Amino acid sequence: MSLSNGANHTQSTTTDNSNQLTEEISQPQVIKEVPTNTNTNDLTKTSAYSIFSWYNNNNTPPLIDPQNNVTDNDLHTAEPANNEALPRNNTTTQTTSWYSFYRSFLFTTSESHAIEHIPLLQETTPLIKENSQEEETTNTYTSSYFGWFSWITGNSQETQEDDAPDESSEAYLAAKVAIETSKEECHYIFKTNDDFKSYELSVSGTSTEENPVHIRSKKYKPRSMNEVLEKSLKKPTSPEEIHYKVTPTFDSNYRVITTKTKLRIISNDLICGYKTENHLYKKTPGQILNKCKRLKRVVIIGVHNFLPTKMVRALIGDYTGTSMEYVNMASKAVKSWLSSNYLDYNEDDIEIQGIAIEGQGRISKSVEVSSNLLNNYKDEISNCDFMFVVGHLTSNAIAINILANLLHSNHHLRHKKIAVLSMAGNFLGPFPSHSLKVVYRAYTQLENEIVREMFEFEKKDSGLSIELNESMKLLISYNIKFIFTSSVGNPFIPLYSSMGLSYDHPNIYRNVFEGESIPFISSLLQLICVMKNLGQQTDYNIIKDFSDKLETSKTTRQIFQEEKVYIEAIKFALESTNLTHQNKLKIKNSKNFVITTSNNVTDQLQFQNNLPWSLRSLVNDILKFKHIENKKKIIDLITEFKQWEPTYKQYRDIKYCLEALNDFELNELNI
């Protein structure tokens, strides 16, 4: 009896609403007929199994066809409605009310009432809604119906939440906030095996510190305020083509080792009673090919430390990059080296793991926290065949200290092939004159500490210098190879600092990165690097004298953006031989290489008097090495000097000091 009354009430309400809608719409509209369902009466059964069977047999949700919507075309093109459809809809309404009552009786939740508000269950035809509203209605119906279905099958909504992407997880959101809102010290790591198309993120001080969160796309990468501000310093690409070069090249510096050379080294050591091996050699093509075949797992670690943005703008003046950029460039260089030396090379045969270490803060804190974060990737590091560590500017000291910590804690690494690329590294501090330009009142207390740390490396007895020297000794003792690449005309790091002139060892390879170069200056720097790589102990302070007289570079490409820098480093790391007898690292007093802040007349006169004799001594030493085409290089150097017409004042001073070279005769060198 109650069901009949409910049906009559619904029918009268539907009739009133239909009349009102007909008056509001100028053109006639059709109320689509709900398809007659022969199994409708089965829904009145109280068995949940009957409802489940009905759904399986009909393959559509009960009571409603979700596709039976009134569209805009229906409102304007349909024929007048036929009242014969109303009784069929009345039956549907009865069933709907009974089903909703039955469902609400069993499950007292808000979802049980949502089905009564679905427009297609009512007699009135709804007006056209926005797409977002339609989607919301569909989602309400789907969640309501499948909530019933999930209860029967045993599924729950928690299973779907477990499959949610990490970008929406609380761990990721906390890590993102920690990076993007950090004003003091913050350290984090990105790890990838597909060139950062996807990666893992771990941030110190968050839940991701020990449980990295997986990120599907690079677009979700958090960016610190320092990174955003630094990117505004990027220089636009110059329309003019600049020929960037890295000299000397590995192939032009070293000669291929032979059996005769090996026997000579061993016999000299036995006869002389001391080690006479002063430099490395290049492996044979067969040895290089075997190295390519054995290279299956590579780990590349990029290290970058953001400096206070005010200082970067005022003193450095250039974008310092990110560790992701270093890792991507190094990965390309590894693949390029393999493809050029191994004809059967296939990218699928080698696994390259990239670990990008980012941070901002003090050096000691960065080393400690970053070393802890690397514990998440012990397996990848321990199982690699080659590890390549890359740093830029002040992050080189951090990279070297982190690597020393890894070797302390992981004995498996001591027998691995490892190399460190230092680009414009801060080994002996920035230009001393910059310390006078820093207005410490403009920085916070932490920023003041960070700025002062950079100038601590010029002091041999400072804590940072001692720690760096100890790390270098340890790494050299484990046969790790270093590549010191200097940027000519760098406005912040002088040449003597980036070349690490206080360190002497055959495992250290030096070269320079140049854009627009002066032929004479470029050739002279190239010769000095060759001599240092071949075991020459001194450069007669020419690098020190030239460091503050080189014009600031105006190139648009930074040293870390040049692929040749990484390729030359890979070549030295994988194509050079190992020492027959291990040598200890020699560390010289840094005071002998660091220029003073004073620039008085006495220092200028000393420079003018010493430079000609220093150059002559260097040329005499070059004549000792036959395989580098020393005669041709000396002739080219003198020819370039005679053709040199400098316009920069300090270059004119150099030209004036070396005026004697205009009358120089080759027979004076006994060639």
Task: Give pLDDT tens digits for 461-471.
Answer: 999 999 999 99
Q: What is the pLDDT of residue 640?
A: 92
**Residue 173 corresponds to which tokens in the numbers above?**
């959101």
Cβ atoms of residues 66 and 146 within 8 Å: no
Asked whether the predicted pLDDT for residue 106 surpasses 90, the reply is no
pLDDT, one tens digit per residue, over 476-527 is 999 999 999 999 988 899 999 999 999 999 999 999 999 877 889 999 999 9
What integer pLDDT is reported at residue 160 of this predicted model? 38
Please give the Cα distance from 609 to 669 (Å, whole number).
21
Higher pLDDT, 20 or 544: 544
25: tokens are: 């719409």
Task: Provide long-range contacts, Cβ within 8 A and 24+ apart, for 102-107.
Answer: 102/46, 103/148, 107/148, 107/151
Cβ(207)–Cβ(171) under 8 Å?
A: yes
Q: Is the dihedral of CA 161, 165, 166, 170 positive or negative?
A: negative
pLDDT of residue 247 exceeding 70, the answer is yes
**pLDDT tens, 181-236?**
988 889 999 999 999 999 999 999 999 999 999 998 888 899 999 999 998 888 77
* Residue type present at position 123: E
Tokens standing for residue 647: 């316009």
Of 274, 294, 272, 270, nearest to 283 by C-alpha is: 294
The per-residue pLDDT for range 411-441, each reduced to its tens digit, is 788 889 999 999 999 999 999 888 888 877 7
Q: What is the pLDDT of residue 559?
A: 94
Looking at residue 83, the DSSP 8-state letter turns out to be: T
The one-letter code for the residue type at 579 is: L
Give residue 586's identity as a one-letter amino acid code.
Answer: K
pLDDT for the residue numbered 240: 59
More confident residue, 573 or 347: 573
Q: Give the pLDDT band of residue 265 (cuts 50, 70, 90).
A: confident
Is the sign of the CA dihedral 302, 306, 307, 311 positive or negative? positive
Domain residue ranges of the chain, discontinuous segments joined by +: 2-159, 223-516+553-595
Residue 492, number of CB atoms within 10 A of its CB: 24
Residue 186: what pLDDT?
93
Rounded to whole angstroms, how far apart are CA atoms 464 and 467?
Answer: 5
Is 251 within 8 Å of 277 (Cβ atoms)? no
3-state secondary structure at position 450: helix
| 393 within 8 A of 320, measured Cβ to Cβ | yes
Scan for tokens 């620039």, then name that residue.
Answer: 599
248 cis-preceded (ω within 30 degrees of 0): yes
The fraction of the chain above a pLDDT of 70, given in percent, is: 72
Q: Does residue 87 have a pLDDT over 70?
A: no
pLDDT band (50, 70, 90) for residue 237:
low
Q: Are 61 and 145 spatial neighbours (Cβ–Cβ below 8 Å)?
A: yes
Cα–Cα distance for residue pair 136/306, rounded to 1 Å: 45
The encoded tokens of residue 146 equal 């499948």
What integer pLDDT is reported at residue 302 of this predicted model? 98
Res. 45: pLDDT tops 70: no
Residue 354: helix, strand or coil by DSSP? strand
Rounded-to-integer distance, Cα 671 and Cα 663, Å: 16
- pTM of this prediction? 0.76
Q: Which residues pair with 186 in a beta bridge?
A: 360
Cβ proximity of 69 and 97 under 8 Å? no
List Cα–Cα distances, 21 to 13, 26, 582, 625, in angstroms: 12, 10, 95, 101
Any idea which fold 223-516+553-595 has?
A: Rossmann fold (3.40.50)
CB 520 within 8 A of CB 567: no
Residue 65: the pLDDT is 44
The helix-helix angle for 48-58 and 131-153 (nearest 10°) equals 120
100-104, 246-250, 579-583: least confidently modelled range: 100-104
The rounded distance, in Å, linking the Cα atoms of 479 and 488 is: 28
Chain centroid to CA 537:
37
Q: What percent of the chain has pLDDT over 90?
A: 43
Residue type, 183: K
pLDDT higher at 49 or 184: 184
Q: Average pLDDT of 151-173?
A: 56
pLDDT at 569: 97
228-242, 346-360, 470-484: least confidently modelled range: 228-242
- Beta-carbon contacts of residue 63 (< 8 Å; ≥ 6 apart): 43, 92, 95, 96, 99, 115, 121
Q: At what angle do helices 85-106 and 2-24 cross, to 10 degrees?
A: 120
If you ran DSSP here, which 8-state letter would residue 27 be given? S
pLDDT band at 653 (very low <50, low <70, confident <90, very high): confident
Mean pLDDT of the chain: 78
